[in-house]
Amino acid sequence: MAPDEFGPRILTFNSWGAKAGHDALQSGQSRKAMLAFIFRRLAQSLLALFVMSALVFLGVYAIGNPVDILINPQADQAEIARVTASLGLDKPVWVQYWHFLTAAFSGDLGKSFASNVPALQLILQRMPATVELALVAMVIAIVIGLPLGLWAGLKPDSFAAKSIMAGSILGFSLPTFWVGLMLIMIFSVWLGVLPSTGRGATVEVLGLHLSFLTWDGLKHLLMPATNLALFKLSLLVRLTRAGTREAMVQDYVRFARAKGVPENRVVSVHVLKNILIPIVTVVGLEFGSLIAFSIITETVFAWPGMGKLLIDSINVLDRPVIVAYLMIIVFLFIFINLLVDILYTALDPRVRVAGVRA
Amino acid sequence: MSVPVEATVKPGAARSPLREFVASYARSRIAVAALIVLLLILAVAVGAPLISPQNPYDLKQLDIMDSKLAPGSKSGAGWIYLLGSDDQGRDMLSAIFYGLRISLGVGVLSTVAALAIGIVVGLISAYKGGWTDAVIMRIVDLQLSFPAILIALILLAVTGQGVDKIVIALITVQWAYYARTVRGAALVEKRKEYVDAALCLGYSAVRIVLRHIMPNVLPPLIVVATVQVAHAIALEATLSFLGLGMPITSPSLGLLISNGFTHLLSGKYWISFFPGIALLVTIVAINLVGDQLRDVLNPRLK
């Protein structure tokens, strides 16, 4: 399968040096190499975080007047003077950046104009809704995508397999927001069976409001989660199919069959176990992009998550919230990439064997 | 291996390589159909002012009495709104024709520009090596570890709306991928014998890179770029739908869909539905043509 089939987005899979670390581990064959890799990877992540925060800072603070950006347009002269002084705008840019950075690390990303609540708090309040949506979407993608991909990989020439693959191409190329609109048109407007907006009733569990535990919440969740899942579902179908086709011709499958292992068991134990590692990696990596893509789904379905908050904030130029969102999502992405890279090198049996031998 | 421009592909117009290319392309009927559809869409986009029943952005031609008419309704002036009209009394068919023009224009322009930048940066990276290469590739890695939509959103949140801004955003999210691909391909080519031969002949580095390496790196990339146009169009439509893309003065398909979204819930589906279908057909047609081009031109599959 050509990598360009997925376009640039999917290439993030090993872009951050998981492969390089992997190679180093296989050649270095020692725990030392593993530690060195983790440290190098950690340093890379910190650098990336630094660069991205600098970019966000330059983008939002340096372009245009920071005072206009940071305070309410209706503020009076005294307020403007106060903010100018507190920001230290007479100081050089790098000093200003330092102030921004230290404030950000202590959790101060400014107050929202619209609600006069700290931006960070506003986003953290909305986060559970987004995470719930993304998790349910991921579950849908796995529960449907894995069996379909297995089927398409086991019987590649069947009509069903071809339909599945054609469907996955559609899943890749259709814009998410358009699919969302069509879902609303069919299930809310024409059939009237599912609600088109909002989150429905929630249950409070350990201080978190969750939708999927109530019937009403579940009904609200179904369409947005399916919409968000579609792209990942297509990705999983393709990955599983490719992995299955590769695995089915391996010696261990022939050996298992020769031994008289029933075909069901060959697939469900031998094949599945072997194709699961790359799939788990991708599922982990793609979780970040699910959060990012939920911006679209949340806007279409008026889902009250942080993506919807971002778009609303952009529309009313609520800049502190925009900055806070960007910083959080950048952090999230770098963190997930780091975590997956380390887990990948730790989980891959080939790497483990290399470690034991040394 | 050369990539003939689609428009110049005429059966029997040239000797074997071209004919062979046409024949192997035509092996898939779906791909041929997609190519015909794509050419039709291009013709519509180019000729929109000539074939539209109405200039949808000339306010004198709009009649507010005709707003939100269902498809097939008769206008006040006596002609028929084939695909209905929007809340301003604008003929949807004409709006879609003009929207296609804008969407395709933005998609093609940004992809070509990103391709050009990617090629230059990728070749520099491959040729210079060392620190230059390391720094460029770190930037590429950093960028590719975030989804395109997020980078575009960040940029547009900072810069605001505008045709120029969305083109810049689309170029920014695409160049890194090309740069990496070109670098990889150029590094492979660099080790080949014809480059040694050119070096022995005493050609300058610039000449070798531009005249010898680049022509060999380019063809597969152009195929990738074809598919990327569809991605760019989809991304632009998404951003416009979110209200961050095109300004109201340049209504792309995404903006038309966004405009119709509010009416969708009240059952007036056509304001949003038909531009969506136009977007969908365009994207799928480009994808199918691009996929077939890739299969035909991929030496590994022969």
pLDDT of residue B19: 81
Cα(B292)–Cα(B302) distance, integer angstroms: 13
Spans of chain A, pLDDT less than 70 = 1-31, 60-73, 75, 84-91, 113-114, 201, 203, 205-207, 213, 346-358
- Three-state SS at B74: strand
Cα–Cα nearest to A224, from A110, A330, A307 = A307
CA nearest to B111, candidates B170, B66, B169, B54: B170
CB pairs under 8 A between A and B: 122
**What integer pLDDT is reported at residue A125 of this predicted model?**
86
Are B246 and B163 spatial neighbours (Cβ–Cβ below 8 Å)? yes
Nearest CB to A178 within list B149, B257, B298? B257
Nearest to A178 among B155, B180, B276 (CB): B276
Q: Is B219 on the interface with A (CB under 8 A)?
A: no
The tokens describing B259, both together, are 């405009």
DSSP letter (8 states) at residue B155: H
Element spanning B169, H or E: helix B163-190
CA distance A58 to chain B (A): 10
Buried/exposed code over A37-51 (b: 16+ C-beta within 10 A; e: otherwise): bbeebeebbeebbee
Q: What is the per-residue pLDDT for A281?
A: 77
Averaged pLDDT in 10-residue chunks for chain B of 302 residues: 48 64 81 89 83 71 65 66 69 83 91 93 87 88 83 81 88 90 87 85 84 82 86 90 80 83 77 86 89 74 48
Question: Which long-range contacts (C-beta less than 8 Å, at least 24 apart) are formed by A305-313?
Answer: A305/A126, A305/A127, A305/A129, A305/A130, A305/A133, A306/A123, A306/A126, A306/A127, A306/A129, A306/A130, A307/A130, A308/A126, A309/A122, A309/A123, A309/A126, A310/B153, A310/B157, A311/B242, A311/B243, A311/B244, A313/A112, A313/A114
Please say whether the beta carbons of B136 and B179 come within 8 A.
yes
Contacts of B39 (CB under 8 A, 6+ apart): B6
Kind and range of the H or E element at A209? strand A208-210
Whole-number Cα distances in Å, A173 to A166, A323, B108, B284: 11, 30, 17, 7
pLDDT of residue B106: 92
Choose from B38, B137, B236, B241 for mutation: most chain A CBs within 10 A: B241
Distance from CA of B150 to the nearest CA of A (A): 6
CA B122 to chain centre: 21
Whole-number Å distance between alpha carbons of B68 and B16: 55
Q: What is the pTM of this model?
A: 0.80
B272·A52 Cβ contact <8 A: no
CB-side exposure of A129: number of CA atoms within 13 Å?
A: 27
What is the least distance, in Å, from the CA of B147 to any CA of chain A?
Answer: 6
